[in-house]
Structure 1
Amino acid sequence: MNTDTPAADTGQPCAAVRRGRPRSEAAEQAIFTAVVDLMSAGTAMSELTIEGIAAAAGVGKATIYRRWPNKEALLVDVVGKLEAPMPEPTGQGARADLIATIDHMRRRGLAKRTRWVLKAALGQLHTLPELHNAYRERVIKPRREAALDVVRRAVAEGVLRDDLDVDLLGDLLMGPILYRSILWDDSDLEDPELARTMVDSLLGGLAPR
């Protein structure tokens, strides 16, 4: 893959190192928009270059390199920004937080189907191992940990059994919606009550004995 990395690169291929002058939000937004527009026009991630992104954003290459050490780090940030952030705690208890978390995954599945750029980006990540690994470390793992924190709170509140491994509980709770939204592309995700139905159905088997 062409990383378009300058000679002064630190050698850390996907670390989003911020350095140099203070960030310009307008410049960053222009860069993000340029990447999305280029991909919307059919440019594959592997074909994107720092030169092309800078030209489309109306900034110099140095402006990009002050914020990201290379193309991979930039693209991970762009894909992460395309996705909605994890929901904040509802303040209504662990059951409501579980429903909010699973509903977030339902809406993410819908976005992947309806937003071509997000679908293309997530699909192309699997063909770019270095970029895919960086995305897993910086985007997927923190989101999984946030979901497991909800599971831990549910155990602490007595909503879920405390005799099962937290990772297993997370897989049992999150697995069905991930199956529907990722593996079963034509499943019904439109129902706004789907998350509530899933959680309440699972709690019947996972509630404390």
Structure 2
Amino acid sequence: MSLADSRPRPGAPARGRPRSEAVERAILEGVMKLLEEGVPLAELSIERVARTAGVGKATIYRRWRGKEELFVDVVRAAEPPDPELPGTSMRDDLVVLLESLRRRGLVTRSSAILHNVYAQMKSSPRLWAAYHTGVIAPRRALALDVLRRGRRNGELRPDIDLELANDLFVGPMLARAAMRPDADLPEGLSERIVDTVLAGLRPVSPPAR
């Protein structure tokens, strides 16, 4: 499996010395190589990763505080990159966010390794917590920012619970991608979900007199 993008994330805190993209890519690909060979996450050590990547342990520790943080970056690099939001409207931004989620679902379905890694991550509380903190929480925060802007702009009713609204948008895509592996994830699904949910959340125009 090729890594989608191992560049540092925008706004990510600096870790140690200046980062070398070539070195980081070698480390991330070293982890993926071991996973492709069937090595479970629980048996991956920094020492083993360093040998596979052809670097010293200190090189890895200068960039990641431990293997949990490293594994999160491996999974992030194997996923489609986070999208740039158009910012034209709440509806457009929500469609882009859901489309990104749809594409992740397709990648996970097509990659037995990535699917297996997700399952192993969930069985490790420390690793899952690191993934939630570093990946899931920021994505949820971004979606909530989009909804707050929409509420300020009058695209949502002022009485809407934004946490619940976010679940209403994301839930159908997650259900299809993660809980119903037999369900289709067709093109246009993101627009259909957003427009269906928005039909019940938009401000109601007063009836014409």
Does the Cα contact within 8 Å between 2:151 and 2:158 map onto a contact in 1?
Answer: yes
Is residue 34–residue 53 contact of structure 1 (8 Å, CA) maintained in 2? yes
Whether the aligned pair in 2 keeps the contact of 1:17 and 1:69 (CA below 8 Å) is no
CA contact (8 A) 2:143 2:166 kept: yes
What is the aligned counterpart of 1:198 among 190, 193, 199?
193
> What residue is the counterpart of 2:152 in the other structure?
156
CA contact (8 A) 1:101 1:147 kept: yes
Opposite residue 95 of structure 1, the aligned amino acid is R
Summarize deviations over 1:66-93 as a string: whole Å, max 9, x none: 2122222211221222222332221432
Q: Partner of 2:35 in structure 1?
A: 39
RMSD: 1.6
Cα shift readout 1:182-205 (whole Å, capped 9, x = no counterpart):
11111100x211111111111111
In structure 2, runs of 5+ residues without a counterpart are 1-12, 205-209
Q: Which residue is 1:176 aligned to?
A: 172
1:76 alignment counterpart: 72
> After the TM superposition, which parts of structure 1 deviate over 3 Å for at least 4 consecutive aligned residues?
none
Matched, 1:208 2:198: no
In structure 2, what is the Cα distance between the partners aligned to 1:52 and 1:87? Answer: 33
Q: CA deviation at 1:170?
A: 0.7
Instruction: Please tell me whether the aligned partners of residues 17 and 68 of structure 1 are also in contact (alpha carbons under 8 angstroms).
Output: no
Residue in 1 that maps onto 2:123? 127
Q: Distance in 2 between matches of 1:170 and 1:57?
A: 40
Aligned to 2:3: none
Residue of structure 1 equivalent to 2:207 = none
- Gap change, CA 1:30 and 1:158, over 3 Å in 2: same
1:18 and 2:22 equivalent? no
Deviations 1:68-123 (A, max 9, x none): 22222211221222222332221432111111111111111111101223212211
Rounded to whole Å, the distance in 1 between the matches of 2:157 and 2:100 is 23
Distance in structure 1 (CA, Å) of the matches to 2:37 and 2:192: 39
Q: How far is the alpha carbon of 1:130 from its aligned partner?
A: 0.8
Contact kept in structure 1, 2:160 and 2:201, CA below 8 Å? no
Q: Is the 8 A contact 2:93 2:146 kept in 1?
A: yes
Single out whichever of 33-42 and 87-96 deviates more from structure 2: 87-96
Map of 1:28 onto structure 2: 24
Structure 1 alignment gaps of length 5 or more: 1-15
1:17 deviates by 7.3
Give the Cα separation in 1 of the matches to 2:23 and 2:33. 15
Relative to the length of structure 2, the TM-score reads 0.86
| Percent identical residues | 47
Structure-1-length-normalised TM-score: 0.86
Q: Which amino acid aligns with 1:70?
A: G
For residues 98 and 131 of structure 2, the distance between their equivalents in structure 1, rounded to whole angstroms, comes to 21
Query: Per the alignment, in what secondary structure is the counterpart of residue 63 of structure 2?
Result: coil
